[in-house]
Amino acid sequence: MNAEELRALQAPLKQLYRDQPERARIAARAEAALDPDAIACTIASSPHQTVAGLHQAAGGSGDLACSADLLLEALVACAGVTLRAVATAMGVTLRGGSVIAEGHWDARGTLGIDRASPVGLTDITVTFAIDTDAEPEKLRRLIDTTERYCVIFQTLKTPPRLSVTQAQAAG
């Protein structure tokens, strides 16, 4: 896809969202089915399923997906797709490359060993390793624009309001 094709694809959507801003608010949803026999849950995602469980540092086998890794995977997926779209719109040719997200969490917080230890990822670094001939200034603008429009990056940078509710499962 080139910049002209991308603009043609997105133009009617942009106009719709300008004319009807309420249509731009898109619902996102994920659901995990709890495993009754293991400390695990299954996330149904198209076209396959992901089974998540405890990280090895919390007593897991290492055979199942770790939630922190899934979060970082969502981040690199979003950043990678956003980067490709921005590069296309800017006319920057990318021959390849990768997006890497690295973070750290303290198992003492997760396991309740030390209340002063945080629970969750406390620092995340995103690295773009890009194979391109783009000038440094254009490359910087590409990365800055990707950061600005990456939904997951911006969600982590400015966390949303979170709430927890409870419902009775159908039995």
Same domain, 84 and 131: yes
0.85 exceeded by the pTM? yes
Residues of 139-169 as b/e, b for ≥16 C-beta within 10 angstroms?
beebbebbbeebebbeebeeeeeeeeeeeee
Q: pLDDT tens across 21-61, in order?
A: 999 999 988 889 889 899 999 998 778 889 999 999 999 99
Give the count of beta carbons closer than 10 Å to the beta carbon of residue 117.
15
User: Does pLDDT of 64 surpass 80?
Assistant: yes
Which residue segment(s) compose the domain that 54 sits in?
31-65
Cα dist from 160 to 82, 145, 156, 157, whole Å: 20, 21, 8, 9
Q: Assess if residue 19 is contained within a domain.
A: no
The pLDDT, as a whole number, for residue 69 is 93
Domain-embedded: residue 8:
no
